[in-house]
Amino acid sequence: MCGIVGYIGSKEAYPIVLNGLRRLEYRGYDSAGIALFDGAQLHLCKTKGKVNALAEKFAAQGVPQAQIGIGHTRWATHGVPNDVNSHPHTSNSGALILVHNGIIENYAALKTVLQQRGYVFHSDTDTEVLVNLIEEVKKTNNVKLGKAVQLALKEVEGAYAIAVFDQSKPNEIVVAKLGSPLAIGVGTDEFFIASDATPFIEFTNQAIYLEDHEMAVLRLGREARVRDLKKDARLDSAIQELSLNVEQIEKGGYEHFMLKEIYEQPRAILDTFRGRLLPEEGIIKLSGLENHMSRFLNAERILIVACGTSWHAGLVAEYIFEEWARIPVEVEYASEFRYRNPIINKNDVVIAISQSGETADTLAAIKLAKSHGALVYGVCNVAGSSIARETDAGSYTHAGPEIGVASTKAFTTQITILTLIALKLAKEKGSISQSVYQQHLYELQQIPQLIEEALASDATIKKIASEMVMAQHALYLGRGYNFPVALEGALKLKEISYIHAEGYPAAEMKHGPIALIDAQMPVVVVAVNSNHYDKVVSNIEEIKARKGRIIAIVTAGDSVVKGLADHVIEVPKTTEASSPLVTTIPLQLLSYHIAVMLGRNVDQPRNLAKSVTVE
């Protein structure tokens, strides 16, 4: 959570830092702040609220010309979101100025020591403690900023990505990382700093991703000096070439990123397939998996760890892996797994699913699994993210940047890659026949087109949304492969419309939730042609008998459910295992339209952030 941006070079720092914060706003939007140094004076502007509020406030106070600046967009952890608690924070002397993403866990103890030495604190943040700690270390050891950061961080417990500069020496910015991401954009005699590469992509495609326990001194006129803080040794800075482009991170004519990302799903899934799904040759190519095939084939079980929407993708995968590859699968919330002393064996394979690749609980679950000798395989979207680096091997989803806080294309591409993994394992194990395998390859190839067809129901869905918009609560039901889809549909509605919703396996309804059903309760039922179709029809009858309003997702051409439901949304026919990839589309659109009709901030719903880097 929280996004940090910085710039040092010969360009105007303000627009770079401000636009960078806009791109990182998905990481938190409780407050924002920018500090610029114009060669003579520091100009600091901070405000509760979003980056737009900051831009207005800074414009009113007067934006200076400056070639060095740092900025921050905050998801509050320590201290309420207000102007004072917003970053950047200055040290007591006013010389040092710092932005921080993460949590300093021992900040209370450090604060007491600093207070005893005369330091005064104006905010409730752990970050103000950190900047003063660096100042104190710098002063007592009489060292330069880089050395002071290095020494101060030895005393710090927790997670951080920081950028700090000294007004009295404004030719360098010092950055460091542990647990939170930090990318450095390397230009010609200029450096960009950001929590991910999006803020600087139009300026340079050369980036250094700092690893944990690394810091860098970015001084004008020389190359970035990267240091391993554990070994206290200089490192060669590993510059990577980025493949991201500006169009990928702009709205492209859509009203919201979420809508753009919903519509991008056919293209995103094609990208997931690219070079991997080769039906004509009868193969699936996944190099990460191929390198560890025997570990997978000999696995006693597969454990899937993830959070939120990614956990729902894991649930879908459980059905697919067990049905096709006949390997036992357990799906765990990473946050529970990491703290419940789980039994993990050397023969287990752990699959960690994460769009951002930065989710703190998932990262901790991975470290735990690795410490027990399990092979950990990552399914991530963000290349070079912490989880992508921490796992033993993995496959990227290649969905492209997902900016809307509510996950859409990440979910469907995660299911897609997990389907490819399951199918490849099934083929290797011989748990499905060659002809069934080959048929699945061809059917998977149709998915992008089938999603296009599902998207074509948008106008119908919008009409249904205009009725559902008055609801206080909603139930989502599905069975088998579509039970996780019901959970995901309910989560989408909750998080962007703030309407309370629950997802249930349809058959569980009569064990409790049926008591909720009355004429005011919309019940969204995934009732596509499947092994459970008749059972789901019976569940629909039960809801109808209690006057619930039924919105059903049905296979095109269905007539039975059409006769029972208040509304139906048709999706094209697929195999049962691939049905979540199409049934989830109308549920995304339904939540989207309801949230827009309610005037919600669809891309940045309240209290949320895109990457949850705190536990």
Residue 118 structure tokens: 């005369």
Between residues 126 and 261, which has the closer beta carbon with respect to ligand F6R?
Answer: 261
- Count CB atoms within 10 A of the CB of residue 162: 32
Choice among 2, 45, 307, 380 that is catalytic: 2
Stretch that binds ligand F6R, among 260-268, 305-313, 500-508, 566-574 (CB under 6 A): 305-313
314/312 Cα distance (integer angstroms): 5
Which span sits near ligand F6R by CB under 6 A: 202-210, 249-257, 351-359, 479-487? 351-359
Going residue by residue from 451 to 490, which x/- string records binding to ligand F6R, judged by CB under 6 A?
----------------------------------------
Please identify, among the stretches 15-23, 272-280, 308-316, 415-423, the one whose residues bind ligand F6R according to the rule CB under 6 A.
308-316
Is 497 among the residues that bind ligand F6R (CB under 6 A)?
no
Give the residue with the Cβ less far from ligand F6R, 222 or 606. Answer: 606
For residues 50 and 62, give the distance between their C-alpha atoms in angstroms, rounded to a whole number. 18
**Least distance from C-beta 307 to ligand F6R, angstroms?**
4
Tell me which residue has tokens 């959070």. Answer: 307
Q: Kindly state the helix (H) or strand (E) to which residue 459 belongs, with its residue range.
A: helix 458-468
Nearer residue to ligand F6R within complex by CB, 86 or 309: 309
Q: Is 322 left (phi over 0), alpha (psi -120 to 50) or beta?
A: alpha
Residues with Cβ < 8 Å from 575, sequence gap 6 or more? 440, 443
Q: Tell whether residue 386 is a contact of ligand F6R (CB under 6 A).
A: no
Q: Are strands 89-90 and 31-37 parallel, antiparallel or unpaired?
A: unpaired
Residue 391: closest CA among 343, 359, 352: 352
Interface residue with ligand F6R, options 150, 362, 497, 578 (CB under 6 A)? 362
Least CB distance to ligand F6R at residue 561 (A): 28
Q: Does 307 participate in catalysis according to the annotation?
A: no
Q: How many residues bind ligand F6R (CB under 6 A)?
A: 15
307 contributes a contact to ligand F6R by CB under 6 A: yes
Q: CB-hemisphere CA count at 13 Å for 344?
A: 25
Which residues lie below 8 Å from residue 2, measured CB to CB, with a gap of 6+? 27, 28, 72, 73, 74, 75, 87, 100, 101, 102, 180, 195, 609, 613
Binder among 152, 197, 218, 406 for ligand F6R (CB under 6 A) = 406
Residue nearest to ligand F6R (CB): 308
Question: Looking at beta carbons only, is 229 or 491 nearer to ligand F6R?
Answer: 491
Residue with tokens 């005369």: 118
Q: Does 359 bind ligand F6R (CB under 6 A)?
A: yes
Residue 610 Cβ, how far from ligand F6R at the closest point, in Å? 7
Of the listed pieces 20-28, 288-296, 352-360, 393-401, which binds ligand F6R according to CB under 6 A?
Answer: 352-360
Question: Is residue 355 at the binding interface for ligand F6R, with CB under 6 A as the rule?
Answer: yes
Nearest to 419 by CA among 508, 332, 316, 531: 316
**610 flagged as catalytic:** yes
Tell whether residue 612 is a contact of ligand F6R (CB under 6 A): yes
CA atoms in the 13 A half-sphere facing the CB of 380 = 26
Contacts of 288 (CB under 8 A, 6+ apart): 377, 393, 394, 395
The pair of three-digit structure tokens given for residue 445, joined into one six-digit string: 């190839």
Q: Which of 86, 5, 29, 1 is nearest to 603 (CA)?
A: 29
Nearer to ligand F6R by Cβ, of 348 and 488: the residue is: 488
Q: Which is nearer to ligand F6R, 70 or 405 (CB)?
A: 405
> Segment 582-611, which members bind ligand F6R (CB under 6 A)?
611
Instruction: Return the closest-CA partner of residue 46 out of 85, 80, 8.
Output: 85
Task: Decide: is 125 part of the binding site for ligand F6R (CB under 6 A).
Answer: no
Exactly one of 308, 401, 489, 505 binds ligand F6R (CB under 6 A); that residue is: 308
- Decide whether 352 or 423 has the Cβ nearer to ligand F6R: 352
In this chain, which stretch among 102-110, 350-358, 545-553, 558-566 interacts with ligand F6R, using CB under 6 A?
350-358
Inter-residue contact 332 to 360 (CB < 8 Å):
no
Per CB under 6 A, residues contacting ligand F6R are 307-310, 354-356, 359, 362, 406-407, 491, 495, 611-612
Catalytic residues: 2, 610
